[in-house]
Structure 1
Amino acid sequence: MSKIVILGAGHAGGSAAGFLKQYGFEGEIVLAGAEQIPPYQRPPLSKAWLKGETNENALQLRSSEFYAENNIDLRLGIAATAIDRTAKMVAFDDGTVEPYDYLVIATGSRARKLPLPGGDDDLLLELRTIPDAERLKQALGGGKRLAVIGGGYVGLEAAASARALGAEAVVIERMDRVLQRVASSTLSEFFTRRHTREGVIIRTGAEVVAVSGHSVTFADGEVLEAHAVLVGIGATANDELALQCGLECAEGIVVDLDARTSDTAIFAIGDVTRRPLPHYDVMHRLESVPNALEQAKRVACAITGRPAPQDEVPWFWSDQYDCKLQIAGLPFGASAQVVRGDSDTGSFAVFHLKDDRIVCVEAVNAAHSFMFGKQAIAKSSRVDAATLADESIPIKETLL
C-alpha cells in the first residue's frame, strides 16, 4: 500500500492530506510541519486574531481527532533536512528518516528580510504564523505606535487592525503608492483615502536606510520611533530542499498543472510553487488560499486516479474596515481599465481588459461585479467597454 509524505503542515499540506482521505486514499500519510500547531487558517491573523475575535482552536482546518482517525501521522515541530530521490527517503531534523512512494512539498514561503542595517533585529515583527500574530497583538493598543514597512495587503490589514485597537499606525512605502506592485492606481487611491480617514499615516516614496525593533531611519536623517515595527515587503519561496535534491526551480518549485515536479514521484503545492496558469498561458507563483486548495485537490486527484478538477481562475481577497476587496484574475497583457461604479461611494469595480476580454477584476463591496468578472475570465468572454462602465446597464448585457 502506498505511503505519502507531506512536507509542510500549513493550509496547503493540511488540505492535501484531507483531500487524499476524502478521495479514497487508504495508505499511510505522514504530515510533517515545523510549527507546533496543527494546520490552520492564516488569513484571519492580520484581522480577527489581532482584534481578539478568534483563537487557535477556531482557526484549525480539522479537529485534532481527524488525523488519528484517518491514519494521518501528524508530526509537529520537525522539518525536513534532505530528500534522497533515488532511495525515496526524507531525512528530518529530529534524526528520523521516512520512506515515501509519493512526496508532497508544501513548505510555503517566508517573509522577506529588509536588506538594511538592523534588518536582522530580532525585535522586528513579521506576520506569517500564530506566534507572529500574537507578538504583534501584544504590541498594539491605546497610546502605542505601529510602524509598518511595506504598503501591501498584509501591511494595510495590520494597520487597520491597529487602529481598531486604538494604536497609531504609520505605513511606510518606498514606491509612489501603496499596493503599487499588485493593484491598479484606482484601488491604491481608494485605500489610501480610506486609511487616512481612519487616522492611518501613509508615507509613500519613503526611503528607509536603517531599522530596529523600535525605530525607522529615513534617508533624510529623520528617525521615526515606534513601539513596534512590522516588516511586510513580500515573501520568498521555501524551495531550498527542492534545489538541494535537483528538482527544477525558478524562484519557486516548477510544477505542471497537476502540481507534479520534474520528478514524477514528487509533487509541490501552495506558495512554494511556480505553476502554469491556463487562462494566461504563463508560469507564475501565487500566494493565496484558493491556489493552495486548488493544487491540494489536483495532487489528491492525480494520486488517487480521479479526473482533474476544472481549471480555476486565480482569486484573492482582503478585508479592511468595512471594505471587502475581491480580486479575480491577473492583469497580464491588459491594455485598458474600465471602472464600474464610483469609488467615492465605497462600492465599485476596476476591470482590466486585454482587447475586449476581461483578464482581471478588482471589486470593492461589489460581489456581483467580482463574480461576473471571474466567470468572464474563465469563459474568455468578450465585453463592450463602454457599456461595462455604465451602471444603468445590467452587467450581463455588456457581453458581446
Structure 2
Amino acid sequence: MPANDACVIVGAGLAGAKAAQALREEGFDGPLVLIGDERERPYERPPLSKGYLTGKDAREQIYVHPPQWYAEHNVDMRLGMAVTAVDPAAREMTLDDGSRVGYGKLLLTTGSAPRRLPVPGAGLERVLYLRRVEDSDQIKEAFQSASRAVVIGAGWIGLETTAAARTAGVEVTVLEMAELPLLRVLGREVAQLFANLHRDHGVDLRFGAQVAEITGSGGAVDGVRLSDGTRIDADVVIVGVGIKPNIGLAQEAGLEVDNGIRVDERLRTSYPDIYAAGDVAHAFHPLLGKHIRVEHWANALNQPQIAAKAMLGREDAVYDRIPYFFTDQYDLGMEYAGYVEPGGYDQVVFRGDVAGREFIAFWLAGNRVLAGMNVNIWDVNDQLQTLVRTAQTVDIPMLTDPQVPLGSLLPDPQHR
C-alpha cells in the first residue's frame, strides 16, 4: 500500500470508529485502514458498566456502527490484529502477523488498560477487571451466581459495578484507600453524597482500606485480607483501581509521551503526520491553557472529528470542548461538565434538593464556575458548559436559587 495515500487508525474502539467516520464525512476518499486487537467490531465502553452489565441494554446496542457500515464506506477493518511497531521515518508499521502497512497520516487511538492489583492471589479465578465486552459478560455471569462481592476501588468503574451488583441482589463490600469515593475527582463535598448513596443501598463501604492479599481455595477466590488482618468473604472480586494509557507503541517509536501521548490542540504528536485521540491523548486544551488527559466517553466520541480534520489539513481543527462525563448508579443519573484538579477550587455550592438527589453542584474559584454537575435534573448541561467556557464571575445567591433561571446567568442571550 503506498504510504502517501493511506490514513491508518490504530485502535478499533469508539475513537477509532468515529475517526474513520469523520474522515469519510470530511471527504477523504483514499485508502482507510482501521486496525484493532479485539475481535469485536468497534463498540462503546460506558454500557459495559451500566446498561449492558445490568441487562437493560441488548448487546447490539453497544456497537458504534452496524456490521455492514465498514464495507459500505470502504474501511479496511482488520480485527484481532496488533501493531507491534511504528517506524515514523519510513511511515510504516509492523503487525503481529509480520505484515507491514504504510501510511500517509496515522492516528493512534490505542486507549488504555486497567491497572493490575499487585498483591498475592490477584490471579485467582473470579478476580475480574472491566475493560472489554467479554469482561462485562464475565462480571454479569458472576453476579447471577454470587452472593457476596468485594469491589476494590471506589472510582467510577468500582461504583457502577457495585450498583449493578446490588441491583442483582449481591451483597457488596467496597474497599477504598482514600477517605471517600471519587475524592480526587469530585472533592469532599460531593464525594460524601456518593458515599451516602451507596450506603443507602446497603453497600458496606470501607475507607482507608489496604488490600494485602486475595485468598482462594481450589484456584477460585474466596475472600480478601486487609493489611490490618481483617478478612472479608467473597465469591467474586472486582478490581477497579484505575487505568493507564497504552503508550507503548508511541514510546518505542520515539514520540513524546507524558501521562499519555502528548499532543497539541490539533491532536498532533511530536512527530509529523502522527496524531492521537481518546484516552491515550494528553492534549493541550486552549481554554485551560494546559495539557490534560480525560479518560471519558466524550473525548473518545468528539476528539476524532478534530483529529480527522487536522489529518486532512483543515485550519479550523482545534479541540477545545469542555470535558464531560456521566454516570448512572441506582436511581441517580448525573452529568458533569468542566475540569477541576484536586484542591483547585475555593468552594462547592448547590442548587436544588441535595437530600432528594435532584440538584446541581458548582465548583467555584473566585466566583467563577470551574465545573457543574447536574444530578437527576436534565437539559441543563449545555448551560453548565457555557458557564464554564465563558469563565465569568457569577452572583452566588442567584446561582444557588432554583427560582432564578439558569439561563439568565449566561452572558449571551442566545444560550438562555
TM class, shorter-length: over 0.9
Partner residue in 2 for 1:325? 334
Q: Does 1:43 align with 2:46?
A: yes
Partner residue in 1 for 2:184? 181
Q: Does 1:316 align with 2:319?
A: no
1:209 to 202, 208, 212: 212
Q: Distance in 1 between matches of 2:207 and 2:391?
A: 36
Q: Distance in 1 between matches of 2:197 and 2:274?
A: 45
Q: Distance in 1 between matches of 2:288 and 2:29?
A: 36
Q: Does 1:127 align with 2:130?
A: yes
Q: Read off the aligned partner of 1:10 and give its amino acid letter.
A: G
Partner residue in 2 for 1:258? 266
SS at match of 1:136: helix
Deviation at 1:39, TM superposition (A): 0.3
Q: Read off the aligned partner of 1:346 and give its amino acid letter.
A: R
1:232-271 to 2 correspondence within 5 Å? Answer: 232-271=240-279
1:346-367 Cα deviation digits (max 9, x unpaired) = 1112111121211111221123
1:19-75 Cα deviation digits (max 9, x unpaired) = 111111101111110100000011011121222223332211111111111111111
Bigger mean CA deviation after superposition, 57-66 or 386-395 = 386-395
2:166 to 163, 180, 200: 163
Bigger mean CA deviation after superposition, 26-35 or 116-125 = 116-125
Q: Read off the aligned partner of 1:21 and give its amino acid letter.
A: R
1:11 to 5, 8, 14: 14
2:401 to 378, 390, 394: 390
Q: Does 1:364 align with 2:375?
A: yes
Question: Quick check: 1:297–1:309 contact (8 Å CA) kept in 2?
Answer: no
1:63 to 63, 66, 71: 66
Q: Distance in 2 between matches of 1:369 and 1:175?
A: 31
Deviation at 1:183, TM superposition (A): 1.0
Bigger mean CA deviation after superposition, 370-379 or 147-156 = 370-379
With structure 1 as the length reference, what TM-score do the two structures score? 0.95
Partner residue in 1 for 2:24? 21
1:229 to 215, 226, 237: 237
1:113-169 Cα deviation digits (max 9, x unpaired) = 112223344642111110000111110036521210000111111111111111112
* Residue identity (%): 37
Bigger mean CA deviation after superposition, 214-223 or 132-141 = 214-223
Residues 121, 285 of structure 1: alpha-carbon distance in 2 compared, 3 angstrom cutoff: farther
2:384 to 373, 383, 386: 373
Question: Quick check: 2:266–2:319 contact (8 Å CA) kept in 1?
Answer: no
Q: Distance in 1 between matches of 2:7 and 2:334?
A: 37
Q: Read off the aligned partner of 2:49 and give its amino acid letter.
A: S
Q: Does 1:72 align with 2:80?
A: no
Question: Quick check: 1:150–1:173 contact (8 Å CA) kept in 2?
Answer: yes
Q: CA RMSD in A?
A: 1.7
2:149 to 121, 146, 149: 146
Question: Quick check: 1:146–1:168 contact (8 Å CA) kept in 2?
Answer: yes
Matched residues, number: 400
Deviation at 1:386, TM superposition (A): 2.4
Q: Read off the aligned partner of 2:321 and give its amino acid letter.
A: E
Question: Quick check: 1:279–1:377 contact (8 Å CA) kept in 2?
Answer: no
SS at match of 2:213: strand
SS at match of 1:32: strand
SS at match of 1:140: helix
With structure 2 as the length reference, what TM-score do the two structures score? 0.92
SS at match of 1:78: coil
Q: Distance in 2 between matches of 1:158 and 1:76?
A: 28
Residues 154, 252 of structure 1: alpha-carbon distance in 2 compared, 3 angstrom cutoff: same
Partner residue in 2 for 1:85? 88
Question: Quick check: 2:152–2:238 contact (8 Å CA) kept in 1?
Answer: yes
Question: Quick check: 1:113–1:120 contact (8 Å CA) kept in 2?
Answer: no
Structure 2, unmatched stretches of 5+, are 216-220, 412-416
Q: Read off the aligned partner of 1:351 and give its amino acid letter.
A: F
Deviation at 1:12, TM superposition (A): 0.6
Q: Read off the aligned partner of 1:264 and give its amino acid letter.
A: P
Deviation at 1:391, TM superposition (A): 2.2
Deviation at 1:336, TM superposition (A): 2.1
Q: Distance in 1 between matches of 2:331 and 2:128?
A: 26
